[in-house]
Structure 1
Amino acid sequence: MGAWTEAAEVLGADLHLELTGPGSRRAVLIRALREAVRSGRLEPGARLPPYRSLAADLGLARNTVADAYAELVAEGWLTSRQGSGTRVAARAVATEPGTAGTASTGGTAETAGAAGAAGTAGAAGTSGRVVVASVPYDLVQGKPDPAAFPRTAWLAAARRALTAAPHEAFGIGDPRGRVELRRALAEYLARVRGVRTSADRIVVCSGTAHALRLLARTVTGPWAVEEYGLPFHRGLLAEAGVRTVPVAVDENGADVGALPFLPGAVDAVLLTPAHQFPTGGPLLPDRRAAVLDWARETGGLVVEDDYDGEFRYDRRPVGALQGLAPERTVLLGSVSKSLSPMLRIGWMVLPGTLVDAVVAAKGEREPYSSATDQLTLADFVASGGYDRHVRRMRRHHRGRRDRLVAVLAERVPEVRVTGLAAGLHAVVELPRGTQRAAVEAAARHGVAVEGLAGYRHPDAADDVRRADGLVVGYATPPERLYGAALDALCAALGEVLSG
């Protein structure tokens, strides 16, 4: 219900709520807020978004949200004080994830570095992926604009974090990661992504690739994976001796109903349910329920790559699967899309039964993520700076996406653009047999871009229904070059389609 609006993006913090069930909108909202407090997703003292911001986010009338807040204040769930906003009452008691008091219901898709960057000369192979030398226009997916990094706000957070840091923070440290960051992430992920966890179930790592390496040592497979995904990630699993089995993908996400019928039992399934990478479809509710039923019935593990869950444009973000089954799901996340891959900070939200095994696989010392960067990120999240940055970038990326769609519709109306609801890329569908020519034409016009076929699992069955396509990233080029990049892309596509 509702949509993201520009007004919502400049007010307050994000708060993920599931508005379902019978009753008026006011009653449903009250029930959802009570459950968020009761389950511990909103901890005592947590500040709620201003009612105008939450109303805009959820597509509700302002009076509806204001009345819901007022009733919960009257009931003692919330407190409200002039100048300090609306907060969860101090008496509210949260239950631990997985206990009887908790409700029960029944990328980052990171690039492989040089594999997606423009820097080394090469020709397109059968995959339709090409890397060219010194191209002026980088439309490879998955890379935020480096100029968008919030330097001033990050520096302020670093100063506060280092001033407040205890002396022991500059020692060897906890292999799980700084507790300040794990606490901040537990609160943030609960509020924004519907995650149910606590700091002791979060392990900080250097990104999704690092997380997969650690999980592959712990859950040895085989794993089911979506038939379209990052070859880099499949390669990491293969290096660890984990065999991967492809699961078909369509406009509704992965066909998880096929899991019981795959050749040989699988121990885990790696999914991108919020925004399938790279085709773009979300995992629909019946399939979300089905994969969690599979995990409960078989003892399998769902590995959820939440690579761009915060960047949803046309409706409210889809909540994480983890919130529905914390003991059967591992949530992977990082700041490589939202802030910068330079920071090398990611996280795993783990079932309680896996924490010790993952920490053992990681080792006693943390050689990847700087403790000072972890402390800074913790402050940046806790102070609201991360929320403000994400909202600003959400608005920016949505504008980039809309511009790409409008230019292609005007100049190359023969193509269809899909995967638009979220993320930093779109898929430009092409007639079958034209993908390699399109990638090569783009390179001649100075555009680095990748073909969809390069993301396909080598063992996937051929699907004659799926068109060829280009995976077009719209986040990386600086603003002064973005228009020229789109002009060059249109010229290349026009050249191929007219031939």
Structure 2
Amino acid sequence: MIRGTKMVGSDFLQLDPTQAPPGSLTAWLAEAVRSAVSDGRLAPGDRLPATRVLADQLGCSRGVVVDAYRRLTDEGLLSGRHGGGTTVRSAWAPSPAARPTAIGARRAAPSGMVSAMPDLIASDASTTDLIDLSPGLPDLSAFPRAAWARAERAALSGLASSELGYGDPRGLPALREALAGWLARTRGLRAHPDDILVVNGVSQGLTLLARALLSHGVSGVGFEDPGSHGAREHLRRWDLEPVPVRVDHDGLDVDALDRTGLDAVLVTPAHQFPTGVVLAPDRRRALVAWARSEPTSGPGGLPRRLVIEDDYDAEHRYDRPPVPALRALAPDHVVHLGSVSKSLAPAIRIGWLLAPAALQHELVEARYWTDLASHALPQLALAHFITSGGFERHLRQVRRRHRARRDALLAALATHLPDGTAHGVAAGLHLLVTLPGIDDAVVARRAAEAGVRVHALSSHRVGDGPPGLVIGYAANTPDRLQEAVRRIAKTIT
């Protein structure tokens, strides 16, 4: 009897495991499925083969297929239920926002309010193969859908008829009470619920502040250099001129700020964008002293000098202790801005603003005339999510995932870009890699042509400084990060 050898391969996507790179079978399989979804060979709702069946056809362990499916589920591409199989998510489709556009076609959004940061560079790569390493992109696949759905159901079941009206422009009392407790526990802020103004993200908070500053004769605002290109443009949009103030390894140079003669400054003290440094204790004290060095003026004791604190990335930390919010040191001179855009999802559109007492009424009135109030149901759902402990559980889970992705990025950098130096690795959703002797704008453009969207450090800087790349890691799996760095390295060598 003639015995044949077992045929290895699958009719599903015509998968041939002999084409996989050595030691990369899981990444190869994940990429094959990802490409099939992107180009339409797999449509939303299509069922994938059972893991045991596909493993048998490919002649590999079931764990390889399980890991590949899990990676794609983490990316939001697939969904699976116990006993229900694995399918392409019916809600998934290639995002038009991910398509490359020409230079200057859109302006970048501020670092604290990015949903899909508009392009700073051109790209000729197809969306099928695009790896987006834009900083500020959170891991949207980690959004706690089931827990959020429970919070919304709980909010609806307890919703009084009166709460279906326009609501308080400051935000619903339930959310402001929950936020007061949350900010006290996690950011060291002692605030009464009436001190909190709920806004539609940091973006709206900056808009309201810009209008208030202009009405009080302020035309220029100190701005960290390097600092978010998008945030600079946002201030300019509302006729405020951002004046660059040097940032070094200790954060904002307060002496340089004092020399500008300005009366307002925007800072990211918990995790500076893009360098990732924490504002050093002596700089924090110096900044508060700068704010208090001028007497209050105007009705109600309006502060002459104002610090705007964008609490960017404060909840994402891995290898360092927590840093309290700057407002805790000087609530009479610091406006505190925060949101759930990085911790949950930008689509929730909920943020908060805490201002000195003399500015509160003016900001609430401006909020009312802007859009009356925020949507009630997301506010109530977030309040329940916080008070039930769901928010803290979610943050613990995403921190573990982000840490693993950061470690994968660092390992890839050590392998493919050993001459680079990584900064700001202890916290956040991005890191900065300085690379001597390169033109970072050219590298970013070439990387885009190779299918990787990454920001040049020079695009976030006004003055001179070393070249580098600002690399976001939260939104991509370890194998995608490894591939992205490999592509970037090829553009440099």
C-alpha distance in 1, partners of 2:441/2:228?
Answer: 19
Q: CA deviation at 1:246?
A: 1.0
**Residue among 383, 388, 391 paired with 1:378:** 383
Secondary structure of residue in 2 paired with 1:471 = strand
Q: CA deviation at 1:255?
A: 0.5
**Residue among 253, 256, 273 paired with 1:255:** 253
User: What corresponds to 1:180 in structure 2?
Assistant: 174
Alignment deviations for residues 343-397 of structure 1 (CA, whole Å, 9 cap, x no partner): 1111101221111010111125746732100110011011110011111111111
C-alpha distance in 2, partners of 1:260/1:320?
Answer: 22
C-alpha distance in 2, partners of 1:168/1:391?
Answer: 35
For residues 428 and 168 of structure 1, do their structure 2 counterparts lie closer, same or farther at Cα, with a shift above 3 Å needed?
same
Alignment deviations for residues 450-484 of structure 1 (CA, whole Å, 9 cap, x no partner): 11111123xxx32xxx321111100112x3xx413
C-alpha distance in 2, partners of 1:177/1:366?
Answer: 12
| Matched letter for residue 136 of structure 1 | L
Q: CA deviation at 1:282?
A: 0.7
1:417–1:428 contact (8 Å) kept in structure 2: yes
C-alpha distance in 2, partners of 1:359/1:258?
Answer: 33
1:196–1:326 contact (8 Å) kept in structure 2: no
User: What corresponds to 1:398 in structure 2?
Assistant: 403
Please list, as runs of the form range in 1=range in 2, the aligned pairs for 1:232-311 lying within 5 A after superposition.
Answer: 232-262=230-260, 265-298=261-294, 299-311=304-316
Secondary structure of residue in 2 paired with 1:363 = helix
C-alpha distance in 2, partners of 1:199/1:419?
Answer: 33
C-alpha distance in 2, partners of 1:327/1:124?
Answer: 40
Q: Which runs of 5+ in 1 are unaligned?
A: 1-115
Q: CA deviation at 1:443?
A: 1.6
Percent identical among aligned pairs is 45
**Residue among 50, 75, 98 paired with 1:118:** 98
1:425–1:473 contact (8 Å) kept in structure 2: yes
1:445–1:489 contact (8 Å) kept in structure 2: no
C-alpha distance in 2, partners of 1:306/1:274?
Answer: 6
2:166–2:373 contact (8 Å) kept in structure 1: no
User: What corresponds to 1:231 in structure 2?
Assistant: 229
Residue 489 (1) aligns with residue 480 (2): no
For residues 365 and 415 of structure 1, do their structure 2 counterparts lie closer, same or farther at Cα, with a shift above 3 Å needed?
closer
Alignment deviations for residues 154-195 of structure 1 (CA, whole Å, 9 cap, x no partner): 011111111112222110111111111111111100110111
Q: Which runs of 5+ in 2 are unaligned?
A: 1-95, 109-118, 295-303
1:441–1:493 contact (8 Å) kept in structure 2: no
1:175–1:363 contact (8 Å) kept in structure 2: yes
C-alpha distance in 2, partners of 1:419/1:273?
Answer: 13
2:247–2:253 contact (8 Å) kept in structure 1: yes
User: What corresponds to 1:106 in structure 2?
Assistant: none
For residues 206 and 318 of structure 1, do their structure 2 counterparts lie closer, same or farther at Cα, with a shift above 3 Å needed?
same
Q: CA deviation at 1:234?
A: 1.9
Under a length normalisation based on structure 2, what TM-score does the superposition of the two structures give?
0.72
Please list, as runs of the form range in 1=range in 2, the aligned pairs for 1:44-193 lying within 5 A after superposition.
Answer: 118-122=98-102, 129-132=120-123, 134=127, 135-193=129-187
C-alpha distance in 2, partners of 1:117/1:254?
Answer: 33
1:182–1:204 contact (8 Å) kept in structure 2: yes
Q: CA deviation at 1:243?
A: 2.0
1:196–1:322 contact (8 Å) kept in structure 2: no
For residues 271 and 172 of structure 1, do their structure 2 counterparts lie closer, same or farther at Cα, with a shift above 3 Å needed?
same
Under a length normalisation based on structure 1, what TM-score does the superposition of the two structures give?
0.71
C-alpha distance in 2, partners of 1:123/1:157?
Answer: 42
C-alpha distance in 1, partners of 2:401/2:213?
Answer: 39
2:447–2:491 contact (8 Å) kept in structure 1: no
1:139–1:449 contact (8 Å) kept in structure 2: yes
Secondary structure of residue in 2 paired with 1:248 = strand
2:164–2:376 contact (8 Å) kept in structure 1: yes
Please list, as runs of the form range in 1=range in 2, the aligned pairs for 1:380-459 lying within 5 A after superposition.
Answer: 380-457=385-462
**Residue among 170, 173, 192 paired with 1:198:** 192
Q: How many equivalent pairs are there?
A: 370
Instruction: Give the RMSD, CA atoms, in angstroms.
Output: 2.1
| Matched letter for residue 486 of structure 2 | C
| Matched letter for residue 360 of structure 1 | E
Segments of 4+ moved more than 3 angstroms: 364-369
User: What corresponds to 1:209 in structure 2?
Assistant: 203
1:219–1:267 contact (8 Å) kept in structure 2: no
Secondary structure of residue in 2 paired with 1:420 = coil
User: What corresponds to 2:359 in structure 1?
Assistant: 354
Q: Which has the larger radius of gyration?
A: 2
